[in-house]
Amino acid sequence: MKVLKFGGTSVGSVKNITNVKNIINDGNKKIVVLSAMSGTTNELVAIANHIKDENSNEAINKIHKLHEIYSLTIDELLIDKTLNNETKNYVSDIFSLLINSTYKPFSNILENTILAQGELLSTYIFNCYLKQEGIRSAILPALNFMRIDTAKEPDLPYIKKHFETVFNTAETSDVYITQGFICLDVDDKISNLQRGGSDYTATIIGAVIKAEEVQIWTDIDGMHNNDPRHVENTKPISNLSYDEAAELAYFGAKILHPQTVTPVREYNIPVSLKNTMNPEAHGTLISSITSENGIKAIAAKDNITAIKIKSGRMLQAHGFLKKVFEVFEVYETSIDMITTSEVAVSLTIDDDRNLDKIVAELEKFALIEVDKNQSIVCLVGHSVVNHEYTYKLFKILKDVKIRMISYGGSKNNISLLINADDKVKTLRKLNNYLFELVTV
Ligand code: ASP
Ligand code: MG
């Protein structure tokens, strides 16, 4: 069986929902994971923030506006009177729940409950639409099987056991629909797999059922070799290895949740990235096959903070790095890049929620300098460190101030830390020299 995940844009308009129906209606049994309709989760985040700021009027305004959009979409999509009514009742209940949350004190659980409504809405509406179109479908409620453990990682044995029960007791269907992104935590409270987490839901289910393939359907022809928002003439990459895809997803290619390939790689389950608006396009196939050497793609990750840790006592002091890492461990902050010299260590983080506390701890034994607003630009490809152009990187980027460079951590990645203001210039320069073959 295959698992197909459709993103927000794919379920964001009646036209696209029709495309999705055509893609899945091929007579094969499948599992379909849906995101919330495009824009919904952002609106729900804004509503939760208004509640947090005790601005319930703004929250209520937003809830009403969103409700109107859903009513219009349902009228356009569901011509069948009974299904239309049934769906509107369900949707009204959800919007009443949202209105009720504006009277409650803010908490993380309240926020997560609000965020979960987007996927509950999209799956319910889509299921009713398939019924109207005569397709046998059933909902597998994600909150009955998807769960994270104390480390906020998916609890795979739990998910496997509960998924099987939910699947086996569902009405026999051709299309089994479930919610991406949402899950329960260890205390059985509503939680989620972080923004963009529907991709992760799809590969977790893929691993649990040993799927034949996981397909991630978005609004672009696969992963591109550079950021199409900043660079012209980017091209889709037809094949990526799991390692290359993981590096790209982690270092900024927005199309995939960073953890997407983790669950499926050990079972060798291919992940295909496809375009709902152009289903014929090949897209990107992620698998264990590594193809030709060289730089395949460039990606950038924003909002990076660099921390320089300087200590006279570091000289020949073993155990220094251990002391540094322990501080980051205590504050559950992961380090992305690291470089060292004899007198200083520079490292980067993207989660700066505990920055002040981390700096205060480090200052007990070292001098600290913090640079915010940095970007990591990352070059990815099988054996990228051996590419014939790699030695020219400094020349290509001679007028960009490179703050850190990481080379050799893996053969598939070279990362550069630069000022965020230089990002677009850097992406374009690299594109010209590496993919448009301007010579240096
Ligand atoms: N709806 C969630 C989000 O916007 C999850 C997803 O779309 O993957 O982040
Ligand atoms: Mg996404």
Closest-lying ligand 1 atom to the alpha carbon of residue 200: 8
Q: Give CA 125 to chain center in angstroms.
A: 24
In the reported structure, the alpha carbon of residue 283 is separated from the centroid of ligand 1 by a whole-number distance in angstroms of 21
Q: How far apart are CA 203 and CA 433, in angstroms?
A: 35
Report the predicted TM-score, pTM, of the whole model to 2 decimal places: 0.91
pLDDT score recorded for residue 314 = 62
Q: How far apart are CA 437 and CA 426, in angstroms?
A: 15
Q: Give CA 164 to chain center in angstroms.
A: 26
Top pLDDT among 142 and 292 is at 142
Give the ligand with the smallest distance to the CA of 181.
1
In the reported structure, the alpha carbon of residue 195 is separated from the centroid of ligand 2 by a whole-number distance in angstroms of 8
Q: Which residues sit with Cβ closer than 5 angstroms to ligand 2, an ion?
A: 7, 196
Domains and CATH numbers, the chain: 2-219 (3.40.1160.10), 296-435 (3.30.2130.10)
Which range has the worst mean pLDDT, 148-157, 214-223, 333-342, 378-387? 378-387
Q: What is the tens place of the pLDDT at every residue in 53-107?
A: 999 999 999 999 999 999 999 999 999 999 999 999 999 999 999 999 999 999 9
Tell me, what amino acid is at 396? I
Residue 258 has pLDDT above 80, yes or no: yes
- Exposed e or buried b for every residue in 148-186, given b needs 16+ CB within 10 A? beeeeebbeebbeebbeebbeebeebbbbbbbbbbbbbe
Residue with CA nearest ligand 1 atom 8: 196
| CB 12 near ligand 1, within 6 Å | no
| CB 258 near ligand 1, within 6 Å | no
pLDDT score recorded for residue 319 = 82
* Residues in contact with 299: Cβ distance below 8 Å, sequence separation at least 6, in sequence order: 226, 227, 248, 251, 252, 253, 377, 378, 380
In the reported structure, the alpha carbon of residue 182 is separated from the centroid of ligand 1 by a whole-number distance in angstroms of 9
Q: Give the mutation target among 4, 6, 35 for probing the ligand 1 site: most ligand atoms within 8 A of CB.
A: 35
Give the ligand with the smallest distance to the CA of 194.
1
